[in-house]
Structure 1
């Protein structure tokens, strides 16, 4: 079965939105997606779409999204189907967020995103029955875990066409009863109207890429209903409420890192924007076991970005990556 192309691919999602308080989004969403379609001409776009069309016609009977992202087991696919699956999905590299297990085939992604989820999940208000937005979701690993935590509807936004294709490749094997409750839209936060309708908004690994972090936090808040919960995971440094690192041209070889606050400063920003019950629930130094090169992401990774003589510093001399999770509520 071919993958729907263009705006058609989102028709089932539009129908799903009509069942929710997000129905008013349909006033602007189709136009935003059409604009993305008209501008998205990545050189590999057609190749990626053809790869997905060539995936084996499998639908998983066994799906585990609660403890991992496992779709299908080894008994549900032949050796030749599994080999074909691996060969095609390898051509969608780099796979950065995961891991995924598909019909006994393991996608060992650059990030052990399951470790991050295990640090975040215990501190969340229950996602059961909630409408969830994941801003900067990558290929959607955490979205699947949110669905596994019994969210009613999970929406991710990320403008990368490769991530969209990776998400669609995985969702292709999921039973329709689950697939209708999860969607990745190729949009950035700047394309989002003030919906004020999501129960929970996540943004993990995005804040430090934004030139105006305060404005970005407000954009996240604008998507929440009154009383909704905001979850921010971002790079931080040690320091007091006034401590913020503004790196030079690169941080850990990333060219688009603008502001890295202390946890205290991040909390202060959230409080200045009117959020309530602001708390830092986790701080964690990123290890070489959590972010590393694999067969599914064979570019440079964290080990290449740290000072080989002092792993507590980046190669530019900044503190090595440390991440914190902030959770807060929008006032009712």
Structure 2
């Protein structure tokens, strides 16, 4: 799994790089990461306790340096796939994978909008248990999808949630963490502003939306997920332009189309106007 690194060599290499995640590589050796996010990460770990990882197939989106993917492996997952669409980040991931002697599979050219297309090689074939089509795909779908710190950076959040549902088994779990609007009973999603003016809530050109908690729950229901209420955790970020911003983490169970209103199920099947969900596996 690569050459042996001394502790000093690891520390020297860490200091050459910029880090987003804090990843424990050896006792006393941790990548620096962004300390301001530690409370968000710890909140997410609390929600994660509602998921059993042992022996499960896990998909990690927006993996960056790979912290969540490596932690899923350490919790006993049988397969972990790390995806991102920012290729430069792969160098940090590769370094950590080498030190940890990890078996996490990196696919750092996979968009959250094209999970079904980008992961077909994994979904179509499994030589350990060959099955006829489409049973092979159903067998190879993921048990857990980790969608962390990503939703509010996407122009079309419903599409990516639909794609998550397309690659997850019924009864599987979605671990979601995102920026949100707190302290409102309304189902709203606040647009952060047009390009060059994206500062309605966060002064950040990569932030598109902040949904309310109810909006998140309803979007998940509309993409065939059912939130586990006791898994919900929130952290306030303060009041910004009359909005109570914060972060939320939760676990949602993937449900089948037969578990929702028949008319809504029929509408989801109209993929010409509701794209994203692969209808054969509802």
What TM-score, normalized by structure 1, do the two folds share?
0.61
SS at match of 1:86: helix
Residues 275, 105 of structure 1: alpha-carbon distance in 2 compared, 3 angstrom cutoff: closer
1:148 is displaced (CA, Å) by 1.4
Counterparts of 1:76-95 in structure 2, within 5 Å, are: 81-93=6-18, 95=19
How far the C-alpha of 1:278 sits from its partner, in A, is: 4.9
Q: Tell me the C-alpha RMSD between the 2 structures.
A: 2.6
The alpha-carbon distance between structure 1 residues 90 and 116, as it changes in their structure 2 partners (threshold 3 A), is: farther
State the partner residue of 1:233: 177
Q: Deviations over 1:264-301 (max 9, x none)?
A: 111111112232455362232267xxxxxxxxxxxxxx
1:230 positional shift: 1.7
Q: 1:132 aligns with which of 53, 58, 61?
A: 58
Provide closer, same or farther for how the CA distance between residues 105 and 272 of structure 1 changes in structure 2, counting only shifts above 3 A.
Answer: closer
Deviating more after overlay: 203-212 vs 247-256: 247-256
What SS does structure 2 have at the residue aligned with 1:119? Answer: helix
Counterpart for residue 161 of structure 1: 87
Provide the aligned length of Structure 1 versus Structure 2.
226
Q: Is the 8 A contact 1:99 1:106 kept in 2?
A: yes
- Residue number in structure 2 paired with 1:193: 116
Q: Sort the Cα spacing of 1:284 and 1:227 in 2 relative to 1 into closer, same or farther, 3 A.
A: closer
Match of 1:119 among 37, 46, 62: 46
> Which 4+ runs in 1 deviate beyond 4 A?
none
Q: Which residues of 2 match residues 1-332 of structure 1 at below 5 A?
A: 57-58=3-4, 81-93=6-18, 95-102=19-26, 104-110=28-34, 111-112=37-38, 115-124=42-51, 126-175=52-101, 179-180=102-103, 182-186=104-108, 187-193=110-116, 195=123, 197-238=141-182, 239-248=184-193, 249-250=198-199, 251-276=201-226, 278-279=228-229, 281-285=231-235, 312-314=238-240, 318-331=243-256
CA distance in 2 between partners of 1:99 and 1:274 (Å): 33
CA distance in 1, matches of 2:92, 2:44: 19
Q: Indicate conservation of the 8 Å contact 2:228/2:252, yes or no.
A: yes
Contact residue 43 and residue 249 of structure 2 kept, 8 A: no
- CA, structure 1 residues 96+116, in 2 after alignment: closer, same or farther (shift >3 Å)? farther
Q: Which moved more, 1:109-118 or 1:151-160?
A: 109-118
TM-score w.r.t. the length of structure 2 is 0.71
Per-residue CA distance 1:98-143 (angstroms, 9 max, x = gap): 242435323221032751443222222x111110001112211111
2:232/2:250 contact within 8 Å kept: yes
Contact kept, 8 Å, 1:313 with 1:319, in 2: the verdict is: yes
Shift of 1:161: 2.4
Superposition deviation, residue 252 in structure 1 = 2.8
Tell me, which stretches of 5 or more residues in structure 2 are unaligned?
118-122, 124-137, 257-281
SS at match of 1:242: coil
Q: Retained in 1: the 8 A contact 2:65–2:92?
A: yes
